[in-house]
A and B are shown apart, each in its own frame.
Chain A
Amino acid sequence: MEQHSILIYILLAIVITNLIRVIPMAFIKGPITNRFVRSFLYYVPYVTLAVMTFPDMILATPTPWPGLIALLAGIIAAWFRLGLFPVAAICCVIVYLLI
């Protein structure tokens, strides 16, 4: 198989990611009114991040248990709104202590 170029991967990511940011600014004059589109856009961030977190988080540790415990602890910490950095730190420390 032909080897893909890392630079092309990076360029694609840069172009697409910034186009997504620029397009609404360039074309949307008023607020989006279509209810389905707005609802869809509303759910997308939560679903994407959730799908990326599980099961990846428990597959990243040598056995699933440390990852699973870190996941549960992270959910509880986030539930109590501990903030980005503390939640991340809790997950790291738990996995470090368990592996």
Chain B
Amino acid sequence: MARRKQHIIHGLRDGIPIAMGYFAVTFSLGIIAARAGLTAPEGFLSSFFTRASAGEYGTYTLVAVQAAYVEVIAMCLVANLRYMLMSAALSQKIAPGTSWFHRILMACCVTDEVFGISIAHPGYTPPAYTYSAALISTLFWASGCALGIVAGSLLPQPMVTALSMSLYGMFLAIIIPPVHKDRNVLYALIASFVLSGLCAVAPNIGEWSNGMRTVVLTIVISAVAAWLKPIKTEDDGAA
């Protein structure tokens, strides 16, 4: 019992800095959600239960244009595919004999950052550690989104536009640093920027919704990259 208490304290200690960053980022997610017509409670619930920056952004942009439900499903699958990899990696860090309940709940806790600290935990990761870090960061994540929905309509337009940049800034902070370690990521990023830009202005393809463009380009570019530049087999792959 004493050890579980210590796991909870450590989880909160590592979760609080994540929570602070989350709060700022979901605030801008809330601004986008407000444009899509979500109310603050709806934003809180959807953020609390999804905790997916890119997936939520993609979903809200689709809701804003009243896209087909199947587009939202495709978007969530692709934008969140990385969680599949993370969850697979986390499955190796759970002590044998841990109940199914804990395995599934821990999988649901996976976000880029909570996964990061859970994987970095020495030895097997205790569920209580992941739960407490996930709970504190999720509360801030969801509150930030709800506040963004409310405040987004009260703030002056230039400030709203400026704050909407924080989500893109967060994406850049995730995708750029690995370029130092792996040149192939750089090539994939350049191809993504160029093709995404071209598809947005190209005849016919330019008519696609953002969601459609994201889904198609992600599958095509990742498949070509995997084919041309497969990762080294001895490399663990879970980054």
A10 touches B42 (CB 8 A): yes
Task: List CB contacts (< 8 Å) of A20-72 with chain B.
Answer: 20-26, 28, 31-32, 35-36, 38-57, 59-62, 67, 70-71
- Is B88 a contact partner of A28 (Cβ separation < 8 A)? yes
Closest residue of A by beta carbon distance from B173: A87
B122: Cβ under 8 A from any A Cβ: no
B166-225: which residues lie under 8 A (CB-CB) from chain A? 166-180, 185, 188-189, 192-193, 195-197, 200, 210, 213-214, 217-218, 221-223, 225
Number of interface residues of B (CB under 8 A): 99
In contact, A20 and B80 (Cβ under 8 angstroms): yes
The stretch of B1-9, B50-58, B123-131, B136-144 in contact with A is: B50-58
B16 adjacent to chain A (CB < 8 Å): no
- Dominant SS among interface residues on chain B: helix
CA gap between A62 and B161 in the complex, in Å: 9
With both beta carbons as reference points, the residue of chain B lying nearest to A1 in the complex is identified as B66
Question: Is A95 a contact of B20 with CB atoms below 8 Å?
Answer: no
Chain B residues within 8 Å of A35, by CB: 230-231, 233
For chains A and B in complex, what number of residue pairs have CB atoms within 8 angstroms?
287
Q: B residues within 8 A CB of A1?
A: 66
Interface string of A80-98 (1 = CB under 8 A from B): 0111110111111111100
**Please, what's the 1-or-0 string for B102-127, where 1 marks a CB less than 8 Å from any CB in chain A?**
01101110100100000000000000
Q: Write the nearest CB–CB distance from B218 to chain A, whole angstroms.
A: 5
CB neighbours (8 Å) of A87 from chain B are 169-170, 172-173
Residues of B within 8 A of A8 (CB): 69
Contact flags (1/0) for B39-77 with A, using CB distance below 8 Å? 000100110011110111111001100111100110011
* B67 neighbours in A (Cβ, 8 Å): 4
Residues of B within 8 A of A43 (CB): 185, 188, 221-222, 225-226
Alpha-carbon gap, A20 to B237, bound state (A): 18
| Contact present for A71 and B92 (CB under 8 Å) | no
Q: A53 to B192, alpha carbons, bound, how many Å?
A: 10
Contact of B38 among A6, A36, A88 (CB under 8 A): A6
Task: Give which listed residue, B21, B87, B163, B229, contacts A25 with CB less than 8 A.
Answer: B87
Within 8 A of A (CB), among B68-104: 68-69, 72-73, 76-88, 90-92, 103-104
* B231 pairs with A52, CB closer than 8 A: no
Whether B163 and A92, one on each chain, are in contact in the complex, defined by CB atoms closer than 8 angstroms, is yes
By a CB distance below 8 angstroms, the chain A residues around B164 are: 60
Q: Which residues of B contact A3 (CB under 8 A)?
A: 66
Contact A48 B179 (CB under 8 A): no
List 3 A-B pairs, minimum CB-CB distance, nearest first: A88-B169, A78-B176, A39-B226
Report the Cα distance A64→B79, complex, angstroms: 25
